[in-house]
Structures are given as structure tokens and as C-alpha cells.
């Protein structure tokens, strides 16, 4: 099917089979051949000696940045804790506000202390979050604004603050402390991880217990219940996401192992590994069943905010942006947190039932009614992911690992296209799957890749694959 499109990108399939992820990494390097400029810094002025003389533990040379007023600093910190922190609660929020931030506001930024480094990294990410919420999109396509924003075309948002953090990171990186780990992780969030050889630390994932957040508990007698509820709204999705990641990784490995252990010739193919799929499906549904009430949803209302059924404004996600062009920003990034959690669930279910699609495509005459049900579940799981809808799609810089979502999306687009071409798959799809939902999902996923390809080399290659496949379904010039 790909070769029939005449796309040169289809000829790269053999290279992908041989090199895997490294091949996509080369595309990304080619897209961004130049490194981020390291000569962009904040203008600094020395802190008066009277400000730091009271603390003998401070480094002798401390500075402040006139462009980072206290109001701006606090605004960026709030943006960070309202966005990135909700997705990955790495820092103790109270400790950051009361210790690290107070330290730099009082004494200025030093070269050899973690408070300065951590604060600068948080400020850089906070500025990225602010730009994602309020800056103008980098482009528009057919009247639709991009979900990517820039405050200046020559460098990413917050680069000048990030470079200040990098200058200081070298002084503290050799120290063995939790702050060192936090600084390293914050750095990786700003500067996308390279596809280097694995360190092996992921092998210990099963031995590390889930976080308890004990350090965040308020043990005072006058415990603020509202604060505890807000902390729970951050902690519960994070714990659920960790469990989902482990389950998805297990599903990938189990399905792959079951497939490679079977002969897949026309004479010996035994069909999908039913027992493996049943067990993985049981684990997945158990994960969903034990979610707290605040995170529960039903499939028919996947666009409704958790726990809001019966209210006057229940819809959280939509296919189209607000008619007035306004941007919707929810407290604690709840739209992206909810979208990511639900989309990962549907992706895991898609992976688990995908072997049934393989059988329908390659062995249609032996496809049973049970196999057809598996195909339906797989295709349904590929539709209407909240992560590709509004408002999350308008704030893509706040969605972790865009490249991973892009690779998931192209796989689904290929299968949905085959559901229009293949006799068996098409018959099941037309009979059991709402075709309006298929068309809406295809449009959203194509729009995602078309938008992200402006900055992502892999997405640019993906666009060369999917654009010819779907050009007959859209008006002339709509896909460009």
C-alpha cells in the first residue's frame, strides 16, 4: 500500500527495519542541525554585599537579573507548578517555595548552590508553560492555529534562563544529593532526551516502590483540607500514570514474545495469543476499576471531565476549538493530565488487541467471530483520543514526549487506512465502527502530524507517508 503511493518516504521502510529508533533520531538531528545557542544569557548585576554578608555559606559572587523581577519569578514558578509539576511531581512544592525560592530572592543567584540551579530550571520551564498558554502560534494552516508557540523565532522560550542554569550545573553535578537528581531531570525536560544507549536503570523499575509523598503531608494541627485535596489531584494521576506505564510496557513485551514464539506462515499460524490477550486485558481493566472516583470515566463520555456528569458544563474535550477563538486554561493542567491518562489507557488497549487486526489482514478466511470482536475493540480503542483534541492540542509544548505520540499516531493512521482498503477489515469496520468517528479521528491525527512536523523531523517524514494515503479523502489543498 505504501509503495503504491509513489512516496519516496515509503522507500525508507527497509532502513527503519534495520536501524529502528536510531533512524528517526537521525531525522531529528537533520531537522535541527544547529545546536541551541549557548551565548544567550540574562543580563546580571552583582548583589550588594550587605544582602549576602549575613550568610557565610554563600558563594562570594552572587547576582540578580533585572529582567527577572520578583513578580515575574513568582509568576513563572506558579506556571511551572500548575503545568509540569502536575504531570511529574518531582519537587516538594512547599519546600521549593519556602526554602529554595526564599533563598534566591533574599541573597540572589550564586554559582555553586543547588537553590540557584533548581530555581533557574524551574523558571525556564515556567516561561515555556506561559508561552504555551498565552503566546501567538508559530503558524496557521487553513485557518487553524498551530498548537506550538514561540516567544521569538531564533530560540526556544526560556533559553536565556536555561543557559544560566547550565552555567551553574557544572559546579554542583558531582555532588551526591537528591537535588542533583532533581536538577538533572529538570534539565532533561527542557532539553529533549537524546536516543542514546540505555543506561539499564529502567531494569530496576519493578523493584522501586511507588512514591508515598510523605514529605508533602501537612502534619500541623490546623491542616488545610483544601490544600490536601489539591495535592491529591496531583498525586493520584501521577501514581495512575506510573502503573499504566508499567502495564503498557508489559503488554508490548508479552505480545511481542508470544508473536515471535509462534510460526507465522500460512500453514502454521495459530492466530492471536488468546490467553495472553485475555490476561493483559484483565490487568488493564483492573487498573481502570481501581482508579479513584476523581479519575473514573465511561467510554461513552470520554470527553467529559471526571466526576462532572450531571453538571451544566461537563465537556472537557472537543473536536473543534472555541468558536470565539479563546484559549481555555484549566487549573493544575487538568485537561492535559486527564487527556494523557485516558489516551494512554486506550493506547494500551489498542496494543493488546492489535494481533486480531493482523489476523484479519493476513488470514481473512480463518477470521472467526471472536477474532472480529477483537478487531472491533482494537479499532474502537484507536478513536477519539482526548490528547489530540482541544484544548490539549492547542498547547502541545505542555504534552510530554510529543515524538512518542506522533509515532503512535502514524501506526493508527496506517491501520485506519487499511480499514478502508482491505475487504475483511473494511467489512468489520463499516458494520461495527461509527464511520463519522473514524473520519473525525483521522482529521485530528493528520492535523497533529501536520502541525508537529514544523519542528519534528520524524513527524515531517511521517507526513510524507500519510499525506498521499489520505489525500483522496479531503478537498484539494486541505492537506499540504
140-183 residue pLDDT tens: 776 677 777 665 545 778 889 988 988 888 766 666 677 777 78
222-269 residue pLDDT tens: 456 566 666 677 788 888 998 998 899 889 888 888 877 654 444 556
Q: What's the pLDDT score for residue 326?
A: 72
Q: Can you tell me the distance from the alpha carbon of 418 to that of 236, in angstroms, rounded to the nearest whole number? A: 38
Q: Compute the residue count for the chain.
A: 480
Beta carbons of 418 and 433 less than 8 angstroms apart: no
90-102 residue pLDDT tens: 888 999 999 999 9
Kindly state the cell numbers that stand for 278: 485475555
Q: What's the pLDDT score for residue 265?
A: 47
Q: What's the pLDDT score for residue 372?
A: 96
Q: What's the pLDDT score for residue 195?
A: 37
The whole-model pTM stands at: 0.81
Within 21-65, strands assigned E span 45-46, 63-64
User: For 99-108, 325-334, 381-390, which range has the lowest pLDDT when averaged over its residues?
Assistant: 325-334
Strand partners for 144:
141
Kindly state the cell numbers that stand for 125: 520551564
Q: Can you tell me the distance from the alpha carbon of 32 to that of 456, in angstroms, rounded to the nearest whole number? A: 9
Nearest alpha carbon to residue 394 among 453, 327, 297, 450: 327
Cα distances (angstroms) measured from residue 464 to each of 20, 389, 395, 419, 455: 18, 23, 24, 20, 15
- Which residues neighbour 129 within 8 Å (Cβ) at sequence distance 6 or greater? 79, 80, 82, 83, 84, 397, 398
The stretches of 84-177 forming alpha helices (DSSP H) are 84-87, 93-95, 102-107, 114-134, 159-172
Binned at pLDDT 50, 70 and 90, residue 199 comes out as very low
Kindly state the cell numbers that stand for 218: 501537612
Q: What's the pLDDT score for residue 428?
A: 96
Beta carbons of 391 and 335 less than 8 angstroms apart: yes
- Which residues neighbour 77 within 8 Å (Cβ) at sequence distance 6 or greater? 96, 97, 101, 122, 123, 126
Q: What's the pLDDT score for residue 309?
A: 46
| Residue with cell string 517524514 | 461
Q: What's the pLDDT score for residue 402?
A: 84
Amino acid at each position: 500500500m505504501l509503495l503504491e503511493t509513489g512516496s519516496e518516504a515509503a522507500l525508507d521502510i527497509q532502513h527503519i527495519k534495520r536501524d529502528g529508533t536510531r533512524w528517526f533520531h537521525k531525522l531529528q538531528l537533520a531537522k535541527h542541525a544547529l545546536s541551541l545557542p549557548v551565548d544567550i544569557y540574562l543580563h546580571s548585576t552583582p548583589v550588594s554585599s550587605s544582602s549576602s554578608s549575613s550568610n557565610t555559606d554563600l558563594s562570594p559572587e552572587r547576582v540578580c537579573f533585572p529582567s527577572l523581577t520578583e513578580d515575574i519569578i513568582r509568576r513563572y514558578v506558579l506556571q511551572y507548578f500548575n503545568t509540569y509539576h502536575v504531570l511529574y511531581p518531582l519537587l516538594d512544592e512547599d519546600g521549593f517555595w519556602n526554602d529554595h525560592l526564599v533563598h534566591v530572592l533574599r541573597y540572589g543567584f550564586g554559582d555553586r548552590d543547588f537553590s540557584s540551579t533548581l530555581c533557574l530550571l524551574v523558571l525556564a520551564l515556567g516561561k515555556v508553560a506561559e508561552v504555551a498558554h498565552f503566546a501567538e502560534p508559530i503558524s496557521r494552516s487553513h485557518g487553524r492555529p498551530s498548537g506550538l508557540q514561540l516567544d521569538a523565532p531564533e530560540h526556544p522560550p526560556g533559553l536565556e534562563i536555561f543557559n544560566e542554569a547550565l552555567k551553574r550545573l557544572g559546579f554542583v553535578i558531582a555532588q551526591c544529593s537528591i537535588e542533583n537528581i532533581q536538577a538533572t531531570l529538570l534539565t532533561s525536560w527542557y532539553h529533549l532526551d537524546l536516543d542514546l544507549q540505555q543506561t539499564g536503570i529502567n531494569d530496576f523499575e519493578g523493584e522501586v516502590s511507588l512514591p508515598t509523598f510523605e514529605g508533602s503531608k501537612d502534619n500541623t494541627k490546623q491542616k488545610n483540607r483544601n490544600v490536601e485535596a489539591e495535592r491529591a489531584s496531583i498525586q493520584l494521576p501521577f501514581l495512575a500514570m506510573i502503573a499504566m506505564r508499567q502495564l503498557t510496557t508489559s503488554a508490548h513485551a508479552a505480545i511481542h514474545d508470544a508473536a515471535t514464539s509462534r510460526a507465522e506462515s500460512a500453514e502454521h499460524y495459530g492466530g492471536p495469543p488468546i490467553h495472553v490477550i485475555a490476561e493483559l486485558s484483565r490487568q488493564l481493566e483492573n487498573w481502570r476499576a481501581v482508579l479513584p472516583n476523581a479519575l473514573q470515566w465511561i467510554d461513552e463520555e470520554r470527553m467529559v471531565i471526571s466526576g462532572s456528569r450531571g453538571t451544566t458544563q461537563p465537556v472537557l474535550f472537543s473536536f473543534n476549538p472555541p468558536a470565539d477563538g479563546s484559549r481555555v486554561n484549566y487549573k493544575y493542567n487538568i485537561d492535559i493530565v486527564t487527556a494523557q491518562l485516558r489516551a494512554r489507557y486506550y493506547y494500551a488497549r489498542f496494543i493488546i488487541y492489535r494481533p486480531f487486526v493482523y489476523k484479519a489482514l493476513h488470514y481473512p478466511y480463518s477470521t472467526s467471530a471472536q477474532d472480529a470482536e477483537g478487531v472491533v475493540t482494537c479499532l474502537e480503542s484507536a478513536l477519539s483520543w482526548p490528547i489530540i483534541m482541544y484544548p490539549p492540542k492547542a498547547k502541545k509544548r505542555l504534552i510530554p514526549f510529543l515524538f512518542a505520540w506522533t509515532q503512535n499516531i502514524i501506526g493508527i493512521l496506517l491501520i485506519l487506512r487499511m480499514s478502508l482498503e482491505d475487504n475483511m477489515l473494511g467489512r468489520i469496520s463499516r458494520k461495527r465502527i461509527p464511520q463519522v468517528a473514524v473520519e473525525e479521528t483521522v482529521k485530528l491525527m493528520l492535523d497533529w502530524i501536520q502541525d508537529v512536523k514544523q519542528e519534528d523531523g520524524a513527524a515531517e517524514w511521517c507526513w510524507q507517508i500519510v499525506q498521499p494515503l489520505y489525500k483522496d479523502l479531503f478537498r484539494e489543498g486541505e492537506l499540504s
